[in-house]
Chain A
């Protein structure tokens, strides 16, 4: 019971302080992993991949997934589904409350200059938080810091992974034929490469 209250509280906080869509909830989930130990960085990277490849807003998908994984530890499927529901409701509750309040004075909110000023600071901060989360993913996917305790050690770098990352970056940014493709295609391609080279 306590766990579900905590799950709701953590996602309520995430919903209240997340600004924007897409990857914006991801930094909160990394801190949640640090603070609660409910799931690992590797779990999170898997969740991002699943959240990107399935219908529905990414933030909602991630909340559902985290709730499911956290709940399943409690004793199986019914607990997992309850966790998924609780986490998702936690995420959307602040939105509902805030929007219902704002809807009352809609125009004045939109035209308020201080809202614009706040966003001048919030946009780079949001990018910074996601960048920091990205560095955590790199640590679980490409670099293994435990190899670097006694100085540089080439075994601590996933070289095939680095090559794959460069190929993916080129495919998603530089090659016109492929850069408009849906992320799920690159995720499937990476999964095949991972199997072929026994990564992870």
Chain B
């Protein structure tokens, strides 16, 4: 089989089998990319995953681009990334079309009324989980508080807060290190 087609299909399978992205993807990547296809070693995969978390964009997409480009250059990176998002495009388009078609039905609206409550709890859980790793001293607590309040009570774009937080992190660490 053509290597690019193989790459596309393999990453499409990975995307289609991952629920939630991020860490949920790692075991499937290990199985497909390291053990089956041997496109990267275990160490490389862990490296890509770690760097995928500290470069812009969502982790799953970043890791796919990394592996693809490592094995087959720029075109490989693009093909692997398109593969990993392909199942989402199909599945979500089908579901969104169905939901749009049925959204006027009363009981569907009631169901989503209940689901919205669940989404509140899911987001709350996501935040508490992130906080355990993020808040490690008083500076990080202040950054968390400032961004939460700033984002609630202003119309500033998240872009501004992301830039502010990166600069603040570098300044606090650089100045703090010299004490």
Contacts and interface: CB of A to CB of B under 8 A. Distances in A.
Interface string B98-138: 01100000110111111111111111111100110111000
A2 interface: no
Given A125-B143, A128-B148, A134-B120, A96 B100 contact: no
Contacts, number: 382
B34 interface: no
A128 B145 contact: yes
B56 A95 contact: yes
A95 B120 contact: no
Contacts of A21: 21-23, 53, 58-60
A145 interface: no
Contact of A23 (B52, B123, B168): B123
A102 interface: yes
Given A22-B126, A124-B141, A60 B151 contact: no
B123 A164 contact: no
B92 A56 contact: yes
Interface stretch (B1-9, B35-43, B154-162): B154-162
Contacts of B135: 124, 127
B92 A124 contact: no
Interface in B39-73: 47, 50-62, 65-66, 69-70
Interface in A143-200: 158, 161, 164-165, 168-169, 172-173, 182-184, 186-187, 189-195, 197-200
Interface of A is mostly: helix
Interface string A88-121: 1001101110111011001001100011111111
Contact of A68 (B78, B92, B111, B143): B92
A92 B57 CA distance: 7
B130 A138 contact: no
Contacts of B66: 99, 103
Interface residues of B, number: 98
B45 to A, nearest CB: 13
A64 B96 CA distance: 9
A103 B117 contact: no
Contact of B92 (A25, A64, A141, A195): A64
Interface of B: 15-23, 25, 47, 50-62, 65-66, 69-70, 74, 77-78, 81-82, 84-85, 87-89, 91-93, 95-97, 99-100, 106-107, 109-127, 130-131, 133-135, 140-141, 143-148, 151-152, 155, 157-159, 161-162, 164-170, 172-174
Interface of A: 13, 15-28, 31, 34, 42, 45-46, 48-52, 54-61, 64-65, 68-69, 72, 77, 80-81, 84-85, 88, 91-92, 94-96, 98-100, 102-103, 106, 109-110, 114-135, 137-138, 140-142, 158, 161, 164-165, 168-169, 172-173, 182-184, 186-187, 189-195, 197-200
